[in-house]
Amino acid sequence: MKTCRLCKHPNPDGNNYCEKCNLSFENVAVRKRYYNEKDDPLTKIKNEELELRQKTTNGSKIFDFFCGVLGILIIFGIPIGGYIYLNQDVNTYNKAVEFWNKGEIKESVEVAEKIPEGSRQYKKAQKLIKNAEDHLLYNKAIALWNEGNYEEAVKIFESFTEESEYYKQAQSVLVEFVNSN
């Protein structure tokens, strides 16, 4: 009886291969198994499983990368987008002030009128519009005054209320007019 060195199965003396595991008795040093490593069906299955796992792992790495990029865009995009949205009216108001500072009063009013009523900048825009109207009205009164049309100029100067930035100037012109008459 021959005992298989691999599986320890007893085999008849005339066998060249183990009945149980097909191990060759003749060339034990060179070949321990019936199948070599490349032809072994279990090795093929294991290799296919490894390739599938590796493909899945690579796919999940790519998916994870894009999810990470998307997450970063969401984390930073929402606050930045919100900031831009909320500050849109601030930029509009600043543009109106810029026109005002250049002396382009009508353009300043046109830009300020674009700010919606619900905006945090709405009150400031309305104040700018009122100041622009008072400015234009004051300049009209001064032009009438310089032309010698004092009565119409006085009516305009008297229309300024205490809330107006031109109220004090209008009052000083009225005082000057009263003192000169």
Please tell me which of 17-26, 30-39, 69-78 the model is most confident about, judged by mean pLDDT: 69-78
pLDDT at 37: 54
- Rounded mean pLDDT, 29-45: 53
pLDDT computed for residue 90 by the predictor: 85
The proportion of the chain whose per-residue pLDDT surpasses 70, expressed as a percent, equals 81
Q: What tokens were used for 38?
A: 């490349």
Tell which wins on pLDDT, 139 or 55.
139
CA–CA dist 45, 114 (Å, integer): 71
pLDDT of 72 over the 80 cut: yes
pLDDT per residue as tens digits for the range 123-161: 989 999 998 889 889 999 989 988 988 889 888 988 888
Give the global pTM.
0.48
Average pLDDT, the chain: 81
Torsional sign, CA 163, 164, 165, 171: negative
pLDDT in tens, 3-32: 887 778 899 988 888 888 777 777 544 444
Q: How confident is the model at residue 99 (pLDDT cuts 50, 70, 90)?
A: very high
Burial class of residue 69 in the structure, from the number of CB atoms within 10 Å of its CB (0-12 exposed, 13-18 middle, 19+ buried) = exposed
Rg, C-alpha atoms of the chain: 47
